Structures are given as C-alpha cells and as structure tokens.
Amino acid sequence: MIPRTSGARPRPTGLRPAAALGVLTAVAAAATLAAVPSPARAATGCRVDYRVSSQWAGGFTANVDVTNLGDPVTSWRLTWAFGAGQAVTQAWGGVAAQTGAQVRVDNAAWNGSLATGASTSFGFTGTWTGANPPPAQFALGGVTCTGSTTPTTTTTTTTAPPSDVLAKAHTVGRVRQAAGAARYTWPGIAFEGRFRGTGVGVTLNDAVNDYDVQVDGATVATLVTPGRTTHRVQGLTNGVHTVRVVKRTEVPWSAGEFGGFTADPGGELLDKPAPRTRQIEFIGDSLTAGYGNTSTSRDCSATGVDRKSNADLTFGALTARALGADHQINAQSGRGMVRNYNGGDPGTDFRTSYARGLQNEAADVWQNPPTWRPQLVVVGLGTNDFSTPVNPGEPWTADTLVTAYKAAYQGFLDKLRATYGPNAVIVVNASNLFAQTAQQVVTDRNAQGDTRVRFWNHDDPRLDRLGCDWHYSTADHRLLSTLLTDYIATLPLTW
C-alpha cells in the first residue's frame, strides 16, 4: 500500500490532440447551478460553445470551446450533465471522467492557463440511444457558464448559516464544532439537510479536499479544492428537497470546515433528517478509504491520487446505503496495526490516529458521543503491516511482527468492546495476504468467550485492482459491497 504524502499534486495531462469539426452549435444558457464565492474571491465567468460535429447510429463526436470571461486561471475544470443517457468514450485536449450523467473535463498539461477572454478547445467521442440533445448548462470551476461574469449576487442576500451549523445538518462523522463551523479530517464525512424552496447553499472552507454536493439523492456538483466558498444549487422545483455534501478525499494533515446550509430567498431550512437506526463503523487503511478508486489506470502520476479518490463510492459507503445505515469511515492510508507501509513513520500506527477526532492534531482526544453506538464494526488492518519485508533497523523480525500484530489487535478489540458494548458485532476483515494471522486473532478472541467477533476474508478472484497503485477500483468496491452485504446477513445482528 502506498502511504499518503503532503507533496504537491500534479495537474492532469491531456489525451491525444485532434482537429475540431464544426456542424451543430449549442450554447448553455439555463443557470440552475451556481457557485457563490466569498466577496474577496476573483471574478468568474465563462462561455461554452458545444458542437456535435458528427453523429451516427449510437455514436457521435462533439467539440467544445471554452472561453474564460473572468480573471486569469492556471487550471480549469468544465462540468455538465447529459440529459439523455449519453456517455463519453474518448477525449482529446482534456482529461474526461464520467459518473452517471455527470461529466467533468480537466485541462490538458498544455492548455490549463487561460487569460481573461482567452479560449481553449477539446473534443470527445460518445455514445447515445434514443436522442442526443446538447447539455442544458455547463460550469467552469463550479460556476455556471452564462456568457458573462459572475453577477453581483455573489454578495449573498440569503440568510447566513446558523452559528450552530449542526442545528440543521445531520452528521455522524468525527467532527469538532468551532465558532460557526464544523471541522473534520476523516474521509467520507457527510452532512445532510432538508429545505423548502428553489435553491440551497453549502458553505465550505477547504482548499485541499474534494466534495460532492447531492440534491434529492443525485450528485449535482463536484467541488475540487473549493477553498472558502458558498456553493449554490438553484433553479429547483419549489418544494421540499434534501441536500447532502460529502468529503470525497482523504487528507489527514488538513482539516476541512463545513459552515452550514442556507436556503435561497423565499425558502427555509427544515429540521434535519432523523438519524438512521442502523449504524456501521468501517475502520481500515487505503483500501477502506477509497484510495484511487475512480481511476481507470494503476498509474495516477499524471492526475494525482486525490482527483481519483471517492470515499462515497467505497465498499463501506455502498454497503451502508444498501442497508439504510449511518456510517463512519475511519481509515488512513499507509497505516497498519503496529507497522506502517514499508516501516514508515516509526513510533506511530493506525491506533495513534484512531484515538483522535482530528488526525492532524496530536493533542486531540476523541470521545464517542452517546449517539454513536454502531451495531456493526468492520476492521480491515494488516495490509500495511505485512505487504513489505521488514527492513534492517526495524524492531521486528518476520515472526515477532506477527506476534506483535496479534497482541495489538487484541488490545484494539478490547478498546472497541469497551466503547461499543458487548452486543456490537466486530468483523475482522482480511485478504489472503494476512488471512491466517487475522483469523487466529478471531479464534483466540472467541476462545476467550467473545463470540461476537467474526472473521471475513474478502479476497475474490474477480477483483481487478485497477485503482491507483493497484488499489481497489470502483468495480471492486461494488463487488466487495455485495459480498459484505451477503456476509452481514449471516451475522447475529439485532437492528
């Protein structure tokens, strides 16, 4: 497993260039999604010309011109949603990715810088069935392209978020409330709310992590390192809606901040969603955190791992949704039960971070609130302990590492049992790499009378490991979720 570092993240590189063809033109005009920056942010605005240059039965080619009408930028991301099930199959002049109907294209290595009034182009081939209408709108860097710069409504006229930002937001993650914000570091942290009206704002302060914004269960925007901003979703049908913002990425050395939801003028925030009765906690390393899971290549040196990671598409998040459960993902890449990847960062291990609410604050000591009592805890630790040989100078041999691992695991299970009580089911999750050792931990535990600790070997020959650095892909996570859901059905859970 590859440990996380805090180094600079390279920009995406483009695919092959191609000549642009021009036939049909469609310009996005409907403004249903808007980002509202803080007043100190730079002016933003854009224009997009989308042309279907060739079309045949089941396929088409499109070319897209992007013009920056705001302040100069050194990199860009264009996003849109297809309305009739179209799919991008290959792109040039940019790096394309698609999740459901949502498409995003990042700049190539050679066309990221756009001065005010400057344009660039990219193209792609795609598939269609039934109809191939142009997208209704585009957004550049999260700001809707209307053909003009961001209007003066960037000075928000909506009601400010409440000082208690969790008064109208449901979360079960490890968060610390500060003045007007909730702070957090663990991956997959999510906040859920309800509102009445035609739009909602999501206030964040995070220049490092990526987020998905979801309305009524559908992702409407992906915010890449948004900084301090209020992102607005507008143009909705006037009525009652749900909103959810989820932290996709895992950056343990930097805390993000959630500043609350705000309703558009004429609307109102409603009582937050009720907590779900079922609760699951997922504990682990990069395989649990979703390291590089959305990548289609094991080599992510061109894009960086963060842009290819989504904790909301991990086997844990998928399993929790399938079972209608609230969940936590308390996972950190490169960490083991007693030994980190390749012996790195000696003197610390996963247990060091698990004791904290904010991983980047050594003095932080986490105390679980009484509202968090998961009936099921799934622990997947061991890959980093055993995936690399013990190096000279480390305090173990291969044999004593196994002994230390088993002793530490028992101590960790003691802590979980003391925290969550005798009825919680704890699943020790392993792969073939260390399955025998992990299963012995469970056997020893059961012999002590704790029969609600169970063993699950998740290895499966169908796992493709096509994520970054041979990590699990989104297809792998879907498979693991199915396998885990089936396994959970055999457990003595009372929920």
**DSSP type of residue 151:** P
- CA 482 to chain CA centroid, nearest Å: 20
Phi-psi region of 57 (alpha: psi -120 to 50; beta: other; left: phi over 0): beta
Picking from 465, 380, 460, the residue whose alpha carbon sits closest to that of residue 426 is: 380
The end-to-end CA distance of the chain, in Å, is 34
Side-by-side strand order, sheet with 59-68: 26-27, 46-56, 59-68, 119-127, 87-92
Read off the tokens for 415.
């802590």
The total number of residues written for the chain in this structure: 495
Distance of CA 167 to the CA centre of its chain: 24
3-state secondary structure of 331: strand
β strands within 57-130, DSSP E? 59-68, 77-81, 87-92, 94-99, 102-107, 119-127
The structure tokens listed for 161 are: 């978020």
Cα 104 from Cα 140, distance rounded (Å): 10
Strand partners, 3: none
3-state secondary structure of 312: helix
- Which phi and psi angles does 10 have, rounded to 5°? -70, 150
- Both tokens assigned to 239: 């009525």
Instruction: Identify the DSSP state of 311.
Output: G
Write out the H or E segment, with its range, that includes residue 223: strand 218-224
Going from the C-alpha of 473 to that of each of 28, 293, 296, 323, the distances in angstroms are 33, 4, 8, 22
Q: At what angle do helices 315-323 and 474-488 cross, to 10 degrees?
A: 50
Q: Tell me the Cα Rg of the chain.
A: 24
Query: Hey, is 257 helix, strand or coil?
Result: strand
Three-state DSSP state, 470:
helix
Q: Which residues are catalytic?
A: 286
The answer to whether the beta carbons of residues 215 and 264 sit under 8 Å apart is no
CA 386 – CA 396 distance, rounded (Å)? 12
